[in-house]
Amino acid sequence: MRFYMPTMVYQETDAVKKHAKELAALGKKAFLITGKHSSKVNGSLADVEEALKQERRSFVLFDRVEENPSVETVAEAAELGKQEGVDFVIGIGGGSPMDAAKAIALLIANPKETAKCLYEPKELKALPLAEVPTTAGTGSETTPYAVLTYHEEHTKRSISYRIFADLALVDAKYLSCAGPGILVSTAVDALAHLLESYLNKGANSFNEMLSERGMSLWARAKEALRSGAPGQQEYQYLMEASTIAGMAISHTGTSLPHGMSYYLTYEKGVPHGVAVGLFQYAYMEAFEDREKVKRALSLLGFEKEEDFREFLTELIGEYSITEAELDRYAKGMMSNVKKLANFPYVMTEEKMRQMFALSLKTEA
Ligand code: NAP
Ligand code: FE
């Protein structure tokens, strides 16, 4: 067995304030990476700025990371970072700014490279990096992955480098600004990470332990998610589940549902969490170790797979694709070697078609 998760994680109220010194120890001039609005509203950006001022560190802000961030945006930010001479990077926000921050930290540390290098097999190191999550979904603060939209290739893909943050400052209080749509979609992403790591070819005791704990935490927040009225206690459960889920997928990676979801997100703009949620039931159905599926269901507080399916449908709704899209997506997935490798059984194009058909409505 092997397990590697080198990020220093603090999860507590006022984590940024309490660990200002460790944040400042990462360098002299910080590059803050955020989305357009939310970090200014939920207090996370102000907390980081305050901590840096207190520790006498200068900083520059790039606040233009879009959802499903593109290689182009990352390249633009890296140019600014280089001009400003920053020597460490802090990602603040959901998975989009946190993932962008990883790629930006890599490009600034290697000023002679162009953005193309993000998808090349080179030995490159990134600048020191801290992450401050404001959604309880991607777990990017504890994963080495950065998923970018690659317009040149009409897809969304993980970059070639595994970049763990040096420091993750996790505070569930930022979730109180998130509306029900974002909360649900990100919580379902965390659920997908827990399940896809648990039901995975690379699973062993380490990630199973993390997934099992994460699922039982997720279960405690699920009724509040359904009723649309989560409070501080549920925010804590969800944030903890999401950070733990990040550790779990750091070990195994995600599986088929994440691969299948990218078509819906890239081509139809379906939010990441919703898109991965749509395929969870079909994945469970296809997983041949029924005892393990039962254990997962029980930890999540469901008696039967059907109950799980109904619950998810109530949370995220249903989506349709055409027959032609179904054929194309199923074919495309058959060349997604990485995700296929995480499914422990034989997969055929016909089976893949059935998984899409079970998860989405089809129209002519
Ligand atoms: P996101 O794309 O980062 O953010 C979605 C929306 O939520 C944005 O409009 C954002 O606003 C807003 N928002 C963020 N925090 C908020 C808060 N506390 N209150 C109110 N609004 C808030 O969403 P995400 O689901 O966290 O990240 C999705 C991305 O992560 C995708 O690109 C996905 O592929 C990737 N991902 C990465 C990993 C990994 O391991 N690295 C794993 C799974 C998914 P602003 O834009 O104004 O900030
Ligand atoms: Fe995900």
Judged against a pLDDT cut of 90, whether residue 2 lies above it is answered with: no
Q: Strands of 203-350 (E only): list them.
A: 320-322
Encode pLDDT of 226-237 as tens digits: 999 999 999 999
The pLDDT of residue 156:
84
Amino acid at 142: T
CA 212 / ligand 1 centre spacing (Å)? 24
Mutate to test the pocket of ligand 1, among 96, 235, 243, 258 (most ligand atoms within 8 A of CB): 96
The residue whose CA is least distant from atom 30 of ligand 1 is 95
Q: Of the candidates 239, 229, 225, 230, which has an alpha carbon nearest to the alpha carbon of residue 172?
A: 239
Distance of alpha carbon 114 from alpha carbon 155, whole angstroms: 19
Ligand 1 mean position, distance from CA 185 (Å): 10
Beta bridge partners of 33: 62, 91
Give the integer Cα–Cα distance in Å for 128 and 266.
30
**pLDDT above 90: residue 263:** yes
- Which among 272, 274, 276, 316 is the best mutation to test ligand 1's pocket, defined by most ligand atoms within 8 Å of the CB? 272
What one-character DSSP code corresponds to residue 65? P
Nearest to 212 by CA among 298, 307, 290, 306: 298
- DSSP string covering 112-148, please? T--GGGGGS-----PPPEEEEE-SSS--GGG-S--EE
pTM of the predicted model over 0.95: yes
Token pair for 136: 């309880």
Q: Write the pLDDT tens digit of every residue in 287-325.
A: 999 999 999 999 999 999 999 999 999 999 999 999 999
Ligand 1 atom nearest to 149, measured from its CA: 32
Arithmetic mean of pLDDT, 21-38: 98
What is the tens place of the pLDDT at every residue in 106-165? 999 999 999 999 999 999 999 999 999 999 999 999 999 999 998 888 888 899 999 999
pLDDT of residue 137: 97
The predicted pLDDT at position 316 comes to 98
Tokens of 57: 């560190």
- pLDDT, one tens digit per residue, over 342-359 is 999 999 999 999 999 999
Strand intervals (E) in the chain: 8-11, 29-33, 58-62, 88-93, 129-133, 147-150, 155-158, 167-170, 320-322, 361-363
- pLDDT per residue over 159-196, tens digit each? 999 999 999 999 999 999 999 999 999 999 999 999 99
Share of the chain above pLDDT 70, in %: 100
Closest ligand 1 atom number to CA of residue 175: 18
Report which of residues 154 and 63 the model is more confident about: 63
Cα 97 to averaged position of ligand 1 atoms, centre (Å):
7
Mean pLDDT score of the chain: 97
Query: Which ligand has the minimum distance to the alpha carbon of residue 74?
Result: 1
Pairing mode, strands 129-133 and 88-93? parallel
CA 122/CA 118 separation, integer angstroms: 9
27-51: burial string, b at 16+ Cβ within 10 Å, e else: beebbbbbbeebbeebbbbebbbeb
pLDDT, residue 364, reads: 76
At residue 205 the predicted structure's pLDDT band, cuts being 50, 70 and 90, is very high
* Model pLDDT for residues 81-92, shown as the tens digit of each residue: 999 999 999 999
In the structure, which protein residues have their CB atom closer than 6 angstroms to any atom of ligand 1?
35-39, 42, 67-68, 93-96, 99, 134-135, 137-140, 143, 145-147, 174-175, 177-178, 182, 186, 189, 272-273
Copy the structure tokens of residue 211.
Answer: 């997934």
Q: What is the pLDDT of residue 264?
A: 96
Number of Cβ within 10 Å of residue 357's Cβ equals 15
Q: Give the position, in ligand 1's atom list, of the atom nearest the Cα of 67.
A: 2
Q: Whose CA is nearest to atom 4 of ligand 1?
A: 94
Cα–Cα distance between 69 and 147 in angstroms, integer?
8
